[in-house]
Structure 1
Amino acid sequence: MSLPIVAILGRPNVGKSTIVNRLAETKGAIVFDEPGVTRDRTYQPAYWRDREFLVVDTGGLIFDDDTEFLPLIRQQAMAALAEASVAIFVVDGQEGPTTADEEIATWLRQQSVPVLLTVNKCESPEQGMAQAAQFWSLGLGEPYPVSGIHGNGTGDLLDEALKHLPPQEELPETSEIKVAIVGRPNVGKSSLLNAFVGENRAIVSPISGTTRDSIDTVVEREGQTYRLIDTAGIRKKKHIEYGPEFFSINRAFKAIRRADVVLMVLDALDGVTEQDQKLAGRIADEGRACIIVVNKWDAVEKDAYTIYDYGEQVKSRLQFTEWAPLIFVSAETGQRVEKILELVNTAAEQHKRRVTTSVINEVLEEAGNWHSPPTTRQGRQGRIYYGTQVSTQPPTIALFVNEAKLFNDNYRRYIERQFRESLGFTGTPIRMIWRSKKVREMERGSANRATRV
């Protein structure tokens, strides 16, 4: 990553994610009154005075407990510290110094990274200095009283943090492709992210629901920059209670909306489930480009026909995204993982592709010659006057016709197939707007009346 990094560390439930959201001026980190909500390290872009940097949220550090995710959380926090220019050690001003704070302080004193001791939950400026004074005993220098909720003291903290960041460099403009990795819990999304990056960037566990936040990771391949967004596993709505998982899934849906391309990950052993079908429908509704990634392919018993039969089953069950390319991979072994980015490049390019009006009308003329529009029992036939592309991401084509209701669903699907066969549009949905002549005349009449008035 080219921007300098500020790592946020501390024991559970001291308000690290609240501090991250305050410094980054976003709500990107999940804040919930429950310890252990944050697990992976998550990056948020931040800006202070004339400097840009990344703020990294980490899970709560506990050194004397090796149960569940705690060793993996420590590993993630240590990785964040290793790449940071400065660390912000967050403690709870209302609770005072604890044994866990002392253990973390002892560990931080052994590191080579400068540390700013930040006393959170100092909501009152008058009492804040007294609350902060208790933490001189940790031996990490001056404690900075702040309120992550109200923002008190964060300006002074950022002024001090800037002193430890390397000089600002002129960074070249890069066009990145945003890629969201989505799917049901435990299909291997985080493993796929780690396979791309080549390190344990996200915590991987056989326990479903390990990933809580949407995790952004930037990688570069052959001069192209990709922002990979790992997301929480999306379960059926009826199984979700209000709390961390509720916020996690909302983050996943937002990740789909801000992505250029969505990698929809399936478990090869489970096949396509009802939840996968619903998720495919959501991706199509959002108008995102998509690649279907069948993970754990190494665990499937295969013969010469398996991949073809399986592919047909996936396509038939995911009708909302039948236009999406399909790739069979193993995140564990790395099989075909790098080929995913080749498909991403194509899908991203097609998603923002624009076609001239003359080419669109050539396709329409050819389609009409092969299969003319349907005729009603009363002898009325649909007629397409012309078409033009009105927007991209996704490609959206407006067709101007005599009366839209004369074109049934079968013929509309036929026209879309003709566009795909003639023009490609691999990996992206196409939106078709059928506009009746009567509607256009009414709009033109309204405009004329407004002009006369």
Structure 2
Amino acid sequence: MANPVVAVVGRPNVGKSTLFNRIAGERIAIVEDTPGVTRDRIYSHGEWLGKHFNLIDTGGIEISDQPLLTQIRQQAEVAIDEADVIIMVVDIENGVTDADEQVARILYRSDKPVVLAVNKVDNPERRTDIYDFYSLGLGEPYPVSSVHGVGMGDLLDAVIKKFPENAANDDDSSIHFSFIGRPNVGKSSLVNAILGQNRVIVSNVAGTTRDAINTTFKDETGQEFTMVDTAGIRKKGKIYENTERYALMRAMRAIDDSDVVCVVLNAEEGIREIDKHIAGYAHEAGCGVIIVVNKWDTLKDRDQRTMTDFTNLIRAEFQYLNYAPIIFVSAKTKQRLNKLPGMVKAVDEHHKRRIQSSVLNTVLMDAIAANPTPTQNGKRLRVYYGTQVATEPPTFVIFVNDPELMHFSYQRYLENQIRAAFDFSGTPIHLIKRRRQ
């Protein structure tokens, strides 16, 4: 189930981040103009020849107040620790440097697969200079220009050949769900309460969990779940403490490997800006989402009105998650916690739901009859038909006469009509408008 991880590593100013952006840009992603939904620059996705992978830019990890070579070494260690395949980037203009040799020695000792990218080969005449880099002992050097995209195909061909054979476990029938949130909202306590035993260290000290920890269990129906407790996510720009620079990447990887993500809020402390940033990760990844309000038992004089007010506040602050169900729980008293696995199972079913084209088009035609398509500059939008092209999340292509005539508000109207006809609670759905040929 897990996507393989590719890390980009190398000394400063060789073009790591440009190469990272170039690889991430090869993937045609569905993006939304929603504030707070963009991932941190050090972590993204790539896709090549149908192979999906997670991508780490170690150049986005800066360790402050450290000598340069120490920083390089620490960044290489991040790549070794996290990656299945490492792209080491060097620079044709400067040739082989002492820093390159130090990184190569670290990577060589790691026994991880490494692909050597010689960057800034913008001029074909310079391709003969790449042979100097055989001296690094990392195999064939691949000439690329990350600025112009030259040589990227050969580089990525070499990368995907080194993916582990068991990178994706298609035989895993369990539902994977993870808890994410800022430190000390009670993620580990929720895991322990669900399991009924202390499988995970719990502490009131913020940031106890450093790794994403997987635990498998079955509910009373025999459904198997794989539950992941992740480290608390802090927002500190690009600077991470030594012990925390892995936490964000591991949380991101847990999100990508999850069918459903439970965004945990702290009822005592209310909603903070970082909570919205964290929830954006799950939304952008296209996972099913449940909002879990923990520590509900700590509120004094709580009643139905308190719950309604808190729900309204969540809907106002997390407008892009208006599809996500909300549950108020207590890890301490186990209040309502028995309902959570059932909610996860339902959201997972909605996330994987497929709608027949004939049924979908009946809903679309009824929606258009009730609210006719708009006109712009005397030209009317015509919707011909729609079809579902993907699940996880459900994705629909709507064929029209001119995509420019489909205003955002009318697209949202059609999405709401689809949601009203079919139960997609807990999952984002994507509508792609396309001109009929």
1:132-211 alignment, distance < 5 Å? 149=110, 175-211=173-209
Distance 2:334 2:238 in 1: 32
Distance 1:304 1:175 in 2: 38
Does the C-alpha gap of structure 1 residues 400 and 248 become closer, same or farther in structure 2, counting only changes over 3 Å?
A: same
Equivalent position of 1:6 in the other structure: none
Equivalent position of 2:58 in the other structure: none
Deviation at 1:237, TM superposition (A): 3.1
Distance 1:328 1:422 in 2: 27
Q: Which has the larger radius of gyration?
A: 1
1:378-397 alignment, distance < 5 Å? 378-397=377-396
Distance 1:433 1:402 in 2: 13
Structure 2 runs not aligned, ≥5 long: 1-62, 64-69, 71-107, 113-170
Equivalent position of 2:264 in the other structure: 265
1:166-315 alignment, distance < 5 Å? 175-222=173-220, 223-238=222-237, 240-301=239-300, 302-315=302-315
Deviation at 1:271, TM superposition (A): 1.9
Does the C-alpha gap of structure 1 residues 387 and 236 become closer, same or farther in structure 2, counting only changes over 3 Å?
A: same
1:305 alignment partner, SS class: helix
Equivalent position of 1:324 in the other structure: 324
Equivalent position of 1:337 in the other structure: 337
Distance 2:425 2:304 in 1: 26
Contact 1:280 1:320 in 2 (8 A): no
Distance 2:238 2:203 in 1: 20
What does the per-residue CA deviation read over 1:95-132, in whole Å, with 9 as the maximum and x for residues that have no partner?
Answer: xxxxxxxxxxxxxxxxxxxxxxxxxxxxxxxxxxxxxx
Higher relative contact order at CA 8 Å, sep ≥6: structure 1 or structure 2? Answer: 2
Deviation at 1:180, TM superposition (A): 1.0
Deviation at 1:149, TM superposition (A): 4.5
Distance 2:389 2:364 in 1: 16
Equivalent position of 1:402 in the other structure: 401
Equivalent position of 2:41 in the other structure: none
Distance 2:257 2:403 in 1: 32
Amino acid at match of 1:261: V
Contact 1:174 1:225 in 2 (8 A): no
What does the per-residue CA deviation read over 1:64-99, in whole Å, with 9 as the maximum and x for residues that have no partner?
Answer: xxxxxxxxxxxxxxxxxxxxxxxxxxxxxxxxxxxx
Deviation at 1:174, TM superposition (A): 6.5
Structure 1 vs Structure 2: percent identity of aligned residues? 45
Deviation at 1:303, TM superposition (A): 3.0
1:425 alignment partner, SS class: coil
What does the per-residue CA deviation read over 1:48-69, in whole Å, with 9 as the maximum and x for residues that have no partner?
Answer: xxxxxxxxxxxxxxxxxxxxxx
Q: How many residues align?
A: 274
- TM-score normalised by length of structure 2: 0.60
Structure 1 runs not aligned, ≥5 long: 1-31, 34-146, 152-172, 442-453
Moved more, 198-207 or 339-348: 198-207
Amino acid at match of 1:320: Y
What does the per-residue CA deviation read over 1:306-359, in whole Å, with 9 as the maximum and x for residues that have no partner?
Answer: 111111110121112110110000011111111011110100011111100011
Distance 1:237 1:424 in 2: 38
Deviation at 1:148, TM superposition (A): 9.2
Equivalent position of 2:414 in the other structure: 415
- Is 1:363 equivalent to 2:367 in the alignment? no
Amino acid at match of 2:218: E
Contact 1:347 1:427 in 2 (8 A): yes
Equivalent position of 2:93 in the other structure: none
Distance 2:395 2:172 in 1: 26
Distance 2:341 2:239 in 1: 32
1:185 alignment partner, SS class: coil
